[in-house]
A and B are shown apart, each in its own frame.
Chain A
Amino acid sequence: MTDTARRPSFGSGWIGLRFSRIRGGKPRGPRAGEEKWGWLFISPAVAGLILLSAAPILATFAISLTHWDLLTAPDPAGLDNYAKLVNDPRFLTAFRNTAFYTIVSVPLGMAISLGLALALNQAIAGISWIRTMYFLPIVTSTIAIGLVWSWIYSPSSGLLNQFLGVFGLPPQRWVADPFWAMPAIIGMSVWQGLPANTIIFLAGLQAIPSGYYDAASVDGAGPWARLRYVTLPLLTPSIFFTGLLSLIGSVQVFDQVFVLANPGKPTSATITLVYFIYEAGFRNFKMGYASAASWILFLIVAVLTFIYFRSQNRWVHYQ
């Protein structure tokens, strides 16, 4: 808890975090000489951040106030692009789809990863082999994963339909079906995202000193009580971290959808915000419109992240 109190507010947060690590968390202000060296050492990272992130973000904002087709000179448009976006049915569809994806895939992915991490955190023979197996998706490209999952979801000869057939259930059209398309993509994404979250959870689990469990056992806590009152509270920093990454990643979902479903074809249930931006800019020559959509996406991510950061005082426990 003490760490959060000193953590700088969101915005300068990332740089501030690094400083607090450099200073080793000692409760005193930086000396002027140290501050200078600190900035010098991080200058490559800061320069990269300004040139490759901050400047394009600002440029995008400027572009969002124009009608620009990429090839001829932009016309000033004021807030016209933003006004049009909120009435564009395709944008609203993309917004709804992305919200659905995020709301379902983030908690689902984290719950399964946590369960997996708990299961893999056992001292049994060959556990490192078993862990390696579960981590395979992390070294596999989304393209390859998409190819395999498209076979699984194939309406005519797919594995999943054959599996359903064993139980006498009717075959589904999965990514071609407006109802099943997004759940099918979430299924693949959750599977693909498992190892990254699981590694973090595993590391978090192994960092919990066994003394806590011993003490809890002495006090009469059973396995469930130890999980509920020792493991989970001490794992909250890991949960917070994976939650943040999953949240940001989900709102920006693109490649899984693009590879597996070909957004908008055949169903608009798979159009996501980032796909909408790509389509507007690179297919329909509307860079200003795409930039405006990017900014709305940026604000959504920023607000969600801000709320999420603010919430950590209430549920994240640092040892």
Chain B
Amino acid sequence: MMSTFMGSPRGRLPGVAVAAIALIAAACGGSATSSPASSATGSAPASASAPASAGSPSGSAETAYSGPPATLEYSIWGDPAEIKNQQAIVDDFTKANPTIKVNVTVSDWEPYWDKLQTGLAGGAAPDVFAMDGPLGPDYQTRDALLDLTPYIQGENYDLGQLDANAVKDFTTADGAQFGLPRDLNVIALYYNKKMFDAAGIAYPDETWDWAKLVDVGKKLTKDTNGDGTPDQWGVYTETTDMENAWASFVWQAGGDILSADGTKSALDTDQAAQGIQFLQDLIWKDKVVPDPAIFAETGDAFEQGKAAMEINGSWLVATHEAAGLDFGIAPLPKGPASQATSVNPTGAVVYKGTKSPEAAWALVKYLASPVAQEKIMALKASVPVNKQILSTTYASAFDGAQVFADALSYGHLKPSFKGYNDFNTTLQTELDENVFNTPSKTAKEAIAAVNPQLNQILTENQ
């Protein structure tokens, strides 16, 4: 949909509102970098980042921060609910570490990256900032992030306490750790209990497969006023990013996005095509998922009570509750090859040029700690990454939480590599235009058309 722009799976504001804020930020950011000053100040981060290891890491993971007083800028993206959540967690952190002051700044998805890039180029990036798993390598390989390995080793910090997949997104090939995961985005099947009850259909469960989804989807797609357009859709999902649905379908069909070594697109296989084709068929053949244009302006049809099921992420639990829906959560239906879903961590990373690396590390560490993770869980914002919380209190946090926790065992990590944005934009434009919004090509034809470009992008970014 419109609001999920350039790989953001978290479209919650109307597209125009997001674009509006982005435009303002783009205008500000643009003027900052289009001036000749940017090339002069570009050298700033290099000099500022030199004393990264000045303070020697000290104490065990449990000891509080004992360094000099520090003020940290912590930047995140998100909607008003997420701002409140992160602020609450940060407030606890500063209470426990009174010598550290933290200013939380929040942007929408789009302007967040504009501001971050101009800030990094100008040597004025926030000390700690949120990082989307797939985009991490674009920043890490460009020397923008502080290597946290010395702190982890110095304190014997146990990475094993965090979900392994989530940690992996912030680990380089040679084992250096650039940031810690903060929370997880997991895809599952939401269902509207009232609509299922009204139709006398049993709720979705772990036995479901693709055929069952289509079958029930058809039964729950209803044109009540007889105008030729359904007023209730069987399934709602978003097509503009691989994360919301189609990447999971590709994995369920036995395919993958990238080759194992990450150097080539793996989409040109029958399995990958089958996964993408399934989403096209849901929209245009089985007609159980609405034409993406219909809800492009108004957003989530499930949230509006216009769809019986939704394939989407864990970040929607609180939103759906706020909308007053009586809903349940089930695993994604199994595909022809296996059970699979998409897992994508958000992490906290440290700017290489930070003046307070130790305080920044303390904050990053705190965000992944059981105390902070418990809070994330209570706010239902996302799935926690801390195993202690995942295995104890999380399962009973709300109806369906267990589904997300279980999904981590069969979840696939959303691809994360240098050049991700370029790759994703090129791929999605082709899929949106020719596969999902108008079925002018089959998935296989579209992949054949775009695959050489995708491989070209991967080669350029090796």
Contacts and interface: CB of A to CB of B under 8 A. Distances in A.
Contacts of B143: 71-72
**Which secondary structure dominates where chain B touches chain A?**
helix
A266 B45 CA distance: 37
Given A178-B438, A283-B6, A266 B292 contact: yes
Contact of B432 (A55, A90, A267, A279): A267
Contacts of B292: 176, 266
B36 A266 contact: no
Contacts of A60: 34
Given A70-B120, A173-B293, A285-B138, A259 B240 contact: no
A154 B26 CA distance: 25
A259 B36 contact: no
Given A71-B142, A146-B16, A258-B26, 11 more contacts: A71-B45, A71-B117, A71-B120, A90-B429, A143-B16, A156-B295, A176-B296, A255-B23, A264-B429, A283-B6, A285-B138
A90 B5 CA distance: 17
A265 B19 contact: no
A147 B39 CA distance: 36
A279 B422 CA distance: 9
17 contacts: A71-B120, A72-B142, A146-B20, A147-B16, A156-B298, A158-B297, A176-B437, A178-B438, A258-B23, A266-B292, A267-B437, A278-B26, A279-B6, A281-B33, A282-B29, A284-B422, A285-B138
Nearest to B418: A285
Interface residues of B, number: 56
Interface of A: 52, 55-56, 59-60, 63, 69-72, 89-90, 142-143, 146-147, 150-151, 154-158, 173, 176-178, 255, 258-260, 262, 264-268, 278-279, 281-286
Nearest to B45: A71
A55 B291 CA distance: 48
A56 B35 contact: yes
Contacts of A178: 433, 438
B288 interface: no
B2 A262 contact: yes
Q: Which residue among B2, B4, B144, B295 has the maximum number of chain A CB atoms within 10 Å of its CB? A: B2
Nearest to A264: B429
Nearest to A150: B16
Given A70-B120, A147-B16, A266 B425 contact: no
Contact of A156 (B14, B294, B429): B294
Contacts of A142: 23
A147 B20 contact: yes
Nearest to A177: B293
A264 B4 CA distance: 12
B388 interface: no
Contacts of B453: 89
A311 B33 CA distance: 36
A52 B37 CA distance: 10
Contacts of B15: 150, 262
B422 A265 contact: no
Given A56-B36, A71-B142, A266-B240, A282 B114 contact: yes
Interface in B425-461: 425-426, 428-429, 432-433, 436-438, 453
Contacts of B436: 266
B306 to A, nearest CB: 10
Q: Which residue among A55, A142, A154 has the maximum number of chain B CB atoms within 10 Å of its CB? A: A154
Interface string B13-31: 0111101101110100110
Contacts of A267: 432-433, 437
Contact of B36 (A59, A150, A282, A286): A59
A176 B114 CA distance: 25
Contacts of B14: 147, 150
Contacts of B296: 155, 176, 266
Contacts of A89: 453
A176 B138 contact: no
A266 B437 contact: yes
Nearest to A178: B433
Interface string B174-205: 00000000000000000000000000000000
Interface string B29-54: 11001111001000001000000000
Contacts of A143: 16, 20, 23-24
B117 A70 contact: yes
B23 A265 contact: no
B142 A268 contact: no
Interface string B219-242: 000000000000000000001100
A133 B154 CA distance: 69
A265 B240 contact: yes
Nearest to A286: B422
B97 interface: no
B263 interface: no
B432 A265 contact: yes
Contact of A259 (B16, B113, B120, B144): B16
A263 to B, nearest CB: 9
A266 B24 CA distance: 22
B293 A176 contact: yes
Nearest to B297: A154
A260 B19 CA distance: 8
A72 B143 CA distance: 7
Interface in B400-440: 419, 421-422, 425-426, 428-429, 432-433, 436-438
A200 to B, nearest CB: 25
A93 B234 CA distance: 36
A160 to B, nearest CB: 12
A155 B15 CA distance: 14
B297 A155 contact: yes
B121 interface: yes
B129 to A, nearest CB: 14
B455 to A, nearest CB: 15
